[in-house]
Structure 1
Amino acid sequence: MYPHFQDTALENWHDFEVESRKEIVSLLRGIASKKQLIRMLIQGENDVCVTSILDVDEASNTVILDTSIDTAQNKRILSAHRLSFETSLDKVRILFAADSATASTYGGSPAYRIAVPPTLIRLQRREYYRIATPVSNPVRILLKLPEELGGPTSFPLADISCGGIAILDNRMVLGEAIGREYRDCKLELPEIGPVTTDLQVRNSLDLTLLNNKSNRRLGCEFMNISRGNLAAVQRYITRLERERNARIAGLN
């Protein structure tokens, strides 16, 4: 039901599925009352619309959503045969889907109408805390690629946790094969030192940057990492968090 979201957390999505209609309606109303933004993905297209829930009408079994400011995108949404939605409520990630959307109005303005989803996904926990790595001087990891892919190549990180890392592959040389493994990868952690680990690709997401260039984010899990190397990763995460908190304190 949720193949559009490429995420390792969804591999066992049945564990997080909410089927109670009362609970689903309550969650959707909570999202609406807190005016949470929602990412709407059009199935089969690299097309994302940011929307919000305007109303949940339990009697008519419908959810009213705000429309896109893009007229052409509105047409694509209304003709789509599958729509996926991602948002959060109280830091809990919420995913749901709809087979279609129909044109409607709300308060005199255009709106979408979808059926109350029969189920939704509520990801109540994250096993590992992730923190973004520096952009200006990125942390890099060296992968031992075959010669046809250029041999050993370093890639910048997007974030890091004690469970793994997210690699940015702006040249798209790694592909997007979920499950691919890389051995003896060398992670250079500033002021901490090198960390060696195996990696397995668990999810892939293609991004379009503000300059219209493409980038690929590969979520990778540490495999066979030693206790000492894992401790080094934890020390680096603690250091990043202290630096971030110091910056926040300096802005206040």
Structure 2
Amino acid sequence: MNEEENQGPNPIHSEQDIAPFLLKTPMEIAYVLRLLEQAHSNIAIYFNAGHDMMLTRILSADAKAKQFVFDISGHEPTNAALLQADKLLFVGDLDGVKIQFSTVKPSRVLFEGKAAFMVSLPNDMVKLQRREFFRLTTPISSPYTIALPLASGSLTLELHDISLGGVGLWLKDEQQKALFNLGDIVHKASIDLGAAGRIQADIELRNLHTVYLKQGMTRWMLGVQFLNLSRGNESLLQKLMVQLEREQKALTG
């Protein structure tokens, strides 16, 4: 599988009201974890104050023991860094429903004869289904792009994913991180969506993190949020996402 197909979703924005979407009992939480396990869903783990991320999959969940097991990274320095992290933020997607929760530091164990991580069940879990959080991976062979009019000149980046709320962007190299300050607003960013057309929108730079891939490679991703998206552009995005979802479901059977 292409490395870019292995990316997990971005965290829920901190200003969102998540209280109505919280699960709090070990039985409910373990049940959702088992669904993620059965779906072989990629889960993103953010740590080091959100600056770093690794991908994993849930291997088992036990409501009675109040713990679950997840896969290690193929990048050993990432595993070592994860063991030193005081807090882990897990973010996943289950049939369009955003799943997010935090845990304490994990421990390294053997699970079915292979190295894995084990950690206590979280105190609560967010299970959030809202249309602005439904995110789809964009085409890899003919990637969509965004042109950012920065003070240093126009910069074009490839999209990794898209939602009605914003997009995830691949940086070309680590040096490009210096071009961005989180919280900054970029006006009149132009997004080329291939045959679907082009939209222009103001965007806010929301998050920037390192992505550790299982092949031992490292990439950098910038998450941006749309500001005051016009009805016309929102309608175009809705049609595009229906098309992308249909194509992706056809590929996966």
| TM-score interval, normalised by the smaller of the two chains | 0.5 to 0.7
Count residues with an aligned counterpart: 240
Q: 1:178 aligns with which of 182, 192, 196?
A: 182
Matched, 1:187 2:191: yes
Who wins on radius of gyration, i.e. which is larger? 1
The aligned counterpart of 1:118 is 123
Match of 1:186, SS?
strand
CA distance in 1, matches of 2:30, 2:90: 15
Q: Cα RMSD over matched residues?
A: 4.2
The question of whether the paired residues in 2 share the 8 Å contact of 1:41 and 1:84 is answered with: yes
The question of whether the paired residues in 1 share the 8 Å contact of 2:11 and 2:100 is answered with: no
Matched, 1:158 2:163: no
CA 1:65–1:14: 2 relative to 1, 3 Å? same
Give the Å deviation of 1:74: 5.4
The aligned counterpart of 1:244 is 247
CA 1:70–1:177: 2 relative to 1, 3 Å? closer
Runs of 5+ consecutive residues of structure 2 not aligned to the other structure: 1-8
TM-score, scaled to structure 1: 0.68
Amino acid at match of 2:54: V
Matched, 1:23 2:28: yes
CA 1:119–1:228: 2 relative to 1, 3 Å? closer
The aligned counterpart of 1:169 is 171
The aligned counterpart of 2:5 is none
Give the Å deviation of 1:181: 0.9
Match of 2:52, SS?
coil
TM-score, scaled to structure 2: 0.67
Q: How does 1:25-44 map to 2 (within 5 A)?
A: 25-32=30-37, 36=41, 38-43=43-48
Q: 1:93 aligns with which of 98, 122, 133?
A: 98
Amino acid at match of 1:62: Q
CA distance in 2, matches of 1:133, 1:53: 27
The aligned counterpart of 1:198 is 202
Runs of 5+ consecutive residues of structure 1 not aligned to the other structure: none
CA distance in 2, matches of 1:80, 1:242: 35
Give the Å deviation of 1:162: 3.9
CA distance in 2, matches of 1:166, 1:135: 13
